[in-house]
Structure formats: structure tokens, C-alpha cells
Amino acid sequence: MKIRIAFFDARPYDQASFNRLITPDIEIKYFPGHLNEDTAGLAAGSHVVCAFVNDLLSAPVIETLIQNGVKLAALRCAGYNNVDLNAAYGKLHVIRVPAYSPYAVAEHAVSLMMALNRKTHKAYARVRDGNFAINGLLGFDMNGKTAGIIGTGKIGKVLVRILAGFGMKILAFDHHPDPAWGEKYSVQFTDRDTIYRESDIISLNCPLNKETHHMINEKTIVKMKHGVMLINTGRGGLIDSQALIDGLKNYKIGAAGLDVYEEENEFFFEDHSGDILNDDVLARLLTFPNVIITSHQGFFTAEAMNSIAETTIEGIKDFFDGKSLVNEICYRCDSAVCVHKEQGRCF
């Protein structure tokens, strides 16, 4: 049987990564647009939809996919907050790529920290204009400062290793702490309030769910050190954007590095350089000289792209070969009732 894949939000770099893995039993049809209620019908005749972070697998979309014969949704990303897992359960299997390159995202987080600290983006613009003055570019030594890491999964652990190399004190929060690992890097596992209160730099490396939605808000920002640096390479919804703006305006937040934004699906991965930006919150964030926003590019390395393609294709083949789906997600598993180990699949 030839496996037919409807591939949404397809970019040239996606096609380059996946085309090298196409075999005679796989056929991929690439669609540049996002998967949503208007485009779900394009998957008719396909066995699989391959989706990315800004594609929407809502209940109506899932119903349309099922009616059109789709059996599997393959997310080529780690996060799955864009999927209605309850609607999919028992009807549509969903797999993801839980780890493609934790180094890519962790290193990007550090690049945001360094650029904000040493004002590299401002220095570059000055020198290009012939201005070699360094007034206003004062930074601080990372050594000896305190970093608060919220989420110590694979990305968080790589980030800890890097920051420990700078000589930073590391505070960390995770629902499932790993004390043995933390001991190697002198990590102090603690609660989030302690991280807010004591950290010079806070990095968000946790998933977006009901508990973490807007975890950075007006109340939690008040608890932070004056002039704290905030880094988010997780999901945009972790931060209440208006609260962030208020924190920047009153100087409570000294700098912010954002690779994600809660309304990014309207803008990220697209060229809007000739358009008027109609998102007032995003437009306001872009006016701050101490804010750097990148377009969800933390994952974007050659190694990560190859890993994403390989893991996705392997998961698709495993599904049709009747094998266990090690990267499956579902409503039951999101409710902490995992049945993978016993049954190999969620249903």
C-alpha cells in the first residue's frame, strides 16, 4: 500500500528535509497553507496529515479529516496545544516529535540572553551607521548571576549545562525533578515563586497547558526581581503579553527575549514586511529597545530539521506496519493515564 500524506504549512526547507526520505511506498502532497476548517478538505484521499505548530486540529477539523479517510495526524513538532485530543481520542491517532534537537532550542535561548545582555543587536545597528560609541551598551557578567529554569526536560537540561558553564547559579522547577542529574550541575530544585523572587534571568522551557497558560502574568511579575530578564522559547501562551508590556513599561522587566508569541499563527513563518502590522500588542512589543523577538526559529538547525523528518516518517511507517507508537499522544495520556507500555497504542 502506498501511504499518501497531506503535508500542511509546507516550506521549502520542509520539503528539502522530507523529500530525501521519500520511498516508493510514500507519496507526499505539499500544501503551503495552514491546516484549519477551510483547508481540511484538501486532505481528502490521504491517509495521513502532517501538521506544524500553527496548524489547527480542532474538533471540526478532526471530523472533516476522519470523514475524508485520514487515519493519522503526524505533528512535526513537540507541542500539541493546537490539537483537540478529546475530539481525536478513539478516532484519529496523533503522533509527534518529542525531541528533535534540544541543543538547537537551548542554544537559541542563550543567544537571546547574550544579545539582550550585551546589546549586540543595538551595537550592530550603530556600527553599520558609523557610530562607534559604546554609551548605553553596558551589560553584566553572567558569571555569578542566578538563572531560573522552568521546565527541565531535554531542552531545559541542555540549557542548564550551558549556563552552568558560565558559572551561573541555577534554580529550577519541574513537576518531575531529577535530583541525581541536578546534583551534577549544582541545580537547586525549588518552587516557581522562589524562581520569580531570586532569578536574574528566567527561561521558560515548559509545555503549554491549562496549568501553565499565562503563568507569567501581572501577579507573578510583581514577585520578580527589578530588572529581571525573561526568555521564552516554549510557547507564546505561557506569557500574558499585556502584562509583559506593563512590566517593561514600569522597568520591572529589564529585557525580554521571545521566540514565540501567543498570537503568532497570524504572522510567524510569513513575510509581512510590506504590510501594516494589525496586532497592536505585537506592534507595541516591537517598539521596546530591550525586547528581541524571533519568529519561532529556535528549532531551526540542519540537525533538527533532519531529525524531525526522520522521526515523523518513522512514526508514520510504524503506524501502518502495526507497530507500537512510541510518540503517540492522546486524551487519556494527557490526563496522565498512559497505556502505551501495555498496549502499544492509545486505542
pLDDT of residue 148: 98
Amino acid at site 296: H
Asked if pLDDT for residue 78 goes beyond 90, the answer is: no
Asked if pLDDT for residue 347 goes beyond 90, the answer is: no
In angstroms, the CA 1 to CA 319 distance is 13
In the chain, DSSP finds a helix count (H) and a strand count (E) of: 14, 13
In angstroms, the CA 135 to CA 70 distance is 59
Q: Which of 247, 230, 270 is nearest to 112 (CA)?
A: 230
- Mean pLDDT, to the nearest integer, of 311-338? 85
Asked if pLDDT for residue 221 goes beyond 70, the answer is: yes
Asked if pLDDT for residue 26 goes beyond 70, the answer is: yes
Give me the long-range contacts of 109-114 (CB less than 8 A, separation at least 24).
Answer: 109/159, 109/203, 109/205, 109/231, 109/233, 109/257, 109/259, 109/298, 110/159, 110/162, 110/163, 112/231, 112/233, 112/257, 112/259, 112/292, 112/294, 113/142, 113/201, 113/203, 113/229, 113/231, 113/257
pLDDT of residue 342: 64
- The band of 275, judged by pLDDT with boundaries at 50, 70 and 90, is very high
49 phi and psi, to 5 degrees? -110, 135
In this structure, is the dihedral angle defined by the CA atoms of residues 216, 221, 223 and 227, taken in order, positive or negative? positive
* Residue numbers annotated as active site: 235, 264, 296
Q: What stretches of the chain adopt beta strand conformation (E)?
A: 3-7, 26-30, 48-51, 72-75, 93-95, 146-150, 169-173, 187-189, 201-204, 228-232, 253-258, 291-293, 328-329
Percentage, residues of the chain above pLDDT 70: 97
In angstroms, the CA 132 to CA 19 distance is 47
In angstroms, the CA 95 to CA 161 distance is 29
Please, are residues 51 and 7 in contact by the beta-carbon 8 Å criterion?
no
pLDDT of residue 57: 98
pLDDT, tens only, 230-254: 999 999 999 999 999 999 999 999 9
C-alpha cell at 334: 494527557
- The band of 11, judged by pLDDT with boundaries at 50, 70 and 90, is very high
pLDDT of residue 336: 54
Global pTM reads 0.88
C-alpha cell at 269: 513563518
Taken as a whole, the chain contains a residue count of 347
Q: Which of 18, 14, 20 is nearest to 52 (CA)?
A: 14
- Mean pLDDT, to the nearest integer, of 319-343? 77
Asked if pLDDT for residue 224 goes beyond 60, the answer is: yes
H or E segment and range at residue 160: helix 154-165
pLDDT of residue 341: 56
Asked if pLDDT for residue 265 goes beyond 90, the answer is: no
Please, are residues 298 and 259 in contact by the beta-carbon 8 Å criterion?
yes
In angstroms, the CA 32 to CA 248 distance is 36
Domains, the chain, ordered by start = 3-100+302-343 (3.40.50.720), 102-293 (3.40.50.720)
- The band of 346, judged by pLDDT with boundaries at 50, 70 and 90, is confident
Of 139-143, 150-154, 320-324, 330-334, which range is least confident? 330-334
pLDDT, tens only, 85-126: 999 999 999 999 988 899 999 999 999 999 999 999 999 999
For 251-279, b where at least 16 C-beta lie within 10 A, e where not — what string?
ebbbbbbbbbbbebbebbeeeeeeeeeeb
Asked if pLDDT for residue 214 goes beyond 90, the answer is: yes
Q: State the DSSP code for 264.
A: G
pLDDT of residue 313: 98
pLDDT of residue 337: 57
pLDDT of residue 81: 87
- Mean pLDDT computed over every residue of the chain: 95
pLDDT, tens only, 296-312: 999 999 999 999 999 99
pLDDT of residue 203: 98
pLDDT of residue 155: 94
pLDDT, tens only, 127-186: 999 999 999 999 999 999 999 999 999 999 999 999 999 999 999 999 999 999 999 999
pLDDT of residue 144: 98
pLDDT of residue 100: 86
